[in-house]
Structure 1
């Protein structure tokens, strides 16, 4: 499919091929910083939006239509796999996701279902609707949450600042943690392969909370499972992007899982990371999202500074080091994308 897209910049960069400018998309690009998102969100719950293919497609298309980005990303949530496995998931305004039945014992772990892919059919249905709407204009990125990040939500029962319960499990009951992680990994493989079969053009694996882990624990409880997932994907012609908060530290380990792209947080010099990676691994990132609150002159300077640093480097996708915050001005996001699209190597 990549050969027939009108704009395949993102895929070419993901394959470490030459591009005339860096392609641009932004994590959380279809979200709460847009009034058009709230016009939809005020009518439905978050999970209704995810589970109704036409609505998921409407939200996915907002940044395509309003911002002109080079890649669309499926509107969904990393926690849908955990819900399909039996997590009682809800989203509270101003609080975030909650699981009413956290997973903290062997019995809780045993209740997690791995035969649950049918419960995620709505995602495959949404992908088909979105691809009809995109009409081969730009690539569609599918995604899933990485096992450690899913584990942390299941164990904590909600978002956490210190991951105390999770780390206690890793330290005191590592066998239990591994049993949960393996179940999540197996579901994630099936889920991502379902997305590939439904027609996505690329995949991103989000390990949002990997930065909570020590070097050794990252190897054992995160990297091991991410590598397992990536090794089992039907990835012919489908580039795989690996993202974690902490990639500035963990990038050399992430490379061992053989993704096509490593998405880098804003704590590292992107060129240094790129040069330390195998030549066939592209990089994505890594503007500090807080720059988008700044004056437009500053936004332009910071983006062009990054581009000058990366000049002459094949395999570079422009993105943020993490997702857009909800109160970033829409006009600033739009301006940033215009700056990227005007640039030429």
Structure 2
């Protein structure tokens, strides 16, 4: 698939092949730090944007046209799977996602749909086809889904949380209930990602955004087990990226899921971590997103520091350790992308 792309840097790096410079894309690269995003957002609700293929394509294309990144990522949200399962999802300005019907009992869990509800997510496949028409082979398109533990935490808490109290109480006091919910999420996630692959994405990323909330043993039982089940059952015709906020700790387990790429947060020395991985697993990361607030000479120095550290390594995709924050200066993000694209090994 990479041979048909005008810019296949990302695909080559994802497959641990040599590249003349690190390819770059940023998590949340089509988002609230862009004035152009708000021009669209002020006309529609967030879910309307996700569910209308033409609008999702418009937003996906913003960083392609304005930043010149090496890979686009589908504009959607990890919680669309939770909504398809029966979660009453809404997004409140300044608050974030909310579920009006949190899942906290066996009765709640039994009401959740599983893989059979994947047809409700057909709008995502339609968006992928629309985006690929617009990209026209210029750069690859990344699809994605939320990992089961991360989705579970939103369903159980009823929204975002700082301490994961209800979630951890369920893991400790009612592990069988947690496993019931996690299995349903995992089954749907397999069907959902395979649908995206069939629709034409060039790669997929599994986002375990809140894995860092877990102890090693809890991560093993309630996260890793299901992530491995998902990757074992994917149509592996495109590269698969496994992202966990906590990858700097959990990478030895993440290896067992056999991803093509492990996306690493900023707590690790990326070269040291890569040397612990089997040959053929690439790394993605791992700039601290807060660098984007710094003065431009600092941004450039930090990027060059990382790149010099990774010099000579095959399989390195430049990204942030997590997503771009809404108030990060657009011109700083653009400067970072330009700095990366000017670099040569």
Q: TM-score range by the shorter chain?
A: over 0.9
How much does 1:37 deviate? Answer: 0.1
**Aligned residue for 1:126?**
127
1:102 maps to 2:110: no
State how far apart, in whole Å, the 1-side matches of 2:17 and 2:232 are. 22
State how far apart, in whole Å, the 2-side matches of 1:126 and 1:145 are. 18
Render the CA deviation track for 1:211-261: whole Å, top value 9, x for unaligned: 00000000000000000000111012x000000110110011101100000
1:144 maps to 2:118: no
Render the CA deviation track for 1:140-183: whole Å, top value 9, x for unaligned: 00000000000000000010000000000000000000000000
Q: TM-score, normalised by structure 2?
A: 0.99
After the TM superposition, which parts of structure 1 deviate over 4 Å for at least 4 consecutive aligned residues? none
How much does 1:199 deviate? Answer: 0.2
Q: TM-score, normalised by structure 1?
A: 0.99
State how far apart, in whole Å, the 2-side matches of 1:28 and 1:331 are. 15
Unpaired runs of 5+ residues, structure 1, are none
**Aligned residue for 1:70?**
70
Counting only pairs closer than 5 Å after superposition, residues 316-327 of structure 1 correspond to structure 2 as: 316-327=316-327
1:175 maps to 2:176: yes
How much does 1:210 deviate? Answer: 0.4
**Aligned residue for 1:306?**
306
How much does 1:7 deviate? Answer: 0.4
Structure 1 SS opposite 2:120: helix
State how far apart, in whole Å, the 1-side matches of 2:286 and 2:127 are. 29
1:239 maps to 2:239: yes
**Aligned residue for 2:222?**
221
Structure 2 SS opposite 1:319: strand
How much does 1:125 deviate? Answer: 0.2
How much does 1:72 deviate? Answer: 0.1
**Aligned residue for 1:185?**
186
**Aligned residue for 1:162?**
163
Structure 2 SS opposite 1:337: helix
Structure 2 SS opposite 1:143: strand
Count residues in correspondence: 344
State how far apart, in whole Å, the 2-side matches of 1:274 and 1:263 are. 11
**Aligned residue for 1:341?**
341
Render the CA deviation track for 1:302-330: whole Å, top value 9, x for unaligned: 00000000000000000000000000000
How much does 1:2 deviate? Answer: 1.9
**Aligned residue for 1:207?**
208
1:51 maps to 2:51: yes
State how far apart, in whole Å, the 2-side matches of 1:81 and 1:343 are. 38
How much does 1:279 deviate? Answer: 1.1
Render the CA deviation track for 1:110-140: whole Å, top value 9, x for unaligned: 0001110110000000000000000000000
**Aligned residue for 1:293?**
293
Render the CA deviation track for 1:193-212: whole Å, top value 9, x for unaligned: 00000000000000000000
Structure 2 SS opposite 1:195: helix
State how far apart, in whole Å, the 2-side matches of 1:173 and 1:16 are. 41
**Aligned residue for 2:118?**
117
How much does 1:86 deviate? Answer: 0.3
State how far apart, in whole Å, the 1-side matches of 2:234 and 2:119 are. 18
Unpaired runs of 5+ residues, structure 2, are none
State how far apart, in whole Å, the 2-side matches of 1:221 and 1:96 are. 24
State how far apart, in whole Å, the 1-side matches of 2:32 and 2:59 are. 11
1:271 maps to 2:253: no
Of 139-148 and 2-11, the range deviating more from structure 2: 2-11
CA-based RMSD: 0.4
Structure 2 SS opposite 1:116: helix
State how far apart, in whole Å, the 1-side matches of 2:255 and 2:91 are. 34
Structure 1 SS opposite 2:257: coil
Render the CA deviation track for 1:281-305: whole Å, top value 9, x for unaligned: 0000000000010000000000000
